[in-house]
Chains A and B, each alone.
Chain A
């Protein structure tokens, strides 16, 4: 079972991101369960959302305490909430930022994990470019598809179109695709760096 935890702030579509991920998994014929950290959080407040993906029915409904994947939509949370809590040592981390982990001041934390599973993507900028709005949730899913290979970009696009329609949908699809390519590129470079 794959357990994904999303961190962001109210209004950034964190819950929607988890839901889209579950839809993407569903379209790939898998079982998925997405749910928010139910609360009455208002815009700006820290928000957590979860998504479980598996090949059979998912029964447990406890919050994801030991995630396999962390998707951090808002890097400003990094020093406010213990976002890395319970993350598996071989877990994935995707951070919405242009700055490096060291610049973000999480270099030492990150060093505990497998670096090829850690990356960041300028999701907000990409979203601005394609949608004119700083909504990074769908974009990050594109990035996650590239990072983990656990879902396809097609599935992500399908999920986006399931949730949105018209220009918003297409803008998100395009943005997700760009993020996908960006992350793929990064991983490639990372791989080269390894082999070098």
Chain B
């Protein structure tokens, strides 16, 4: 069959596709995939970050033929992957501090450059705390210098490692250990928000993208794209956390999918500060559908439900949809 054919039963959206040749399939479908983050790690059942990290790093490994070094911020990913005497990492990897992953990445990139090992590439990775809060200065510096590092933020929207405290990536109304579901405006406040992908774009770095663990093909394509570019790149991946979100461990991917389908988490690509591509919503759903399965939003529902907060969250989703054009004109209703 030379004419391009869509795959239905065999799945346009599934991880693999038996009708495609091996090299056309996703990295995760491959028998030779790297499993950069190996079995035996101590992540919770259904950990979205463990999944996202393997997705992203495996893709980067394929894009670089394994010539990859990773710097890691302190956080769940680091703690569950490298408790002495075991590590789950299969690539050269370094953990230094909570707030300096981007700078360590810069250092590695500089060493690689000065040693002329130009085939080697660098990624730096961290959670939302290590990225949008404590590591923000180093991140911005790395962007501003346009250092040859791909920074990957695994965003689970709070400090899970320390027991689910609020981070600047925690969404409004979400309950955390430091934003309890009490008082007149329970949960995290409706602040101005801190949209790090947009802030990254403001640095006009070569590449910025968002993705979720629910859309592997999109995620892998973005990593591959990023590794094809030199200079500072930023990839922000939404990785649901069953523990911190109070969700069922088997709902990890479903929730990531709903975050996108509600419009609360816009998935897009930007180059040099300009949005170049948007992943459209396929089946639009109201925010309730995304919020209900998460205990951190339980106070929005039930007899004492906070309908006005629900409306504000829906409004946020609608704003995203408008701002990024997340709906196809025909399916826009």
Do any beta carbons of A and B sit within 8 angstroms of each other in the complex?
A: no
The chain A residues found within 8 Å of chain B, CB to CB, are none
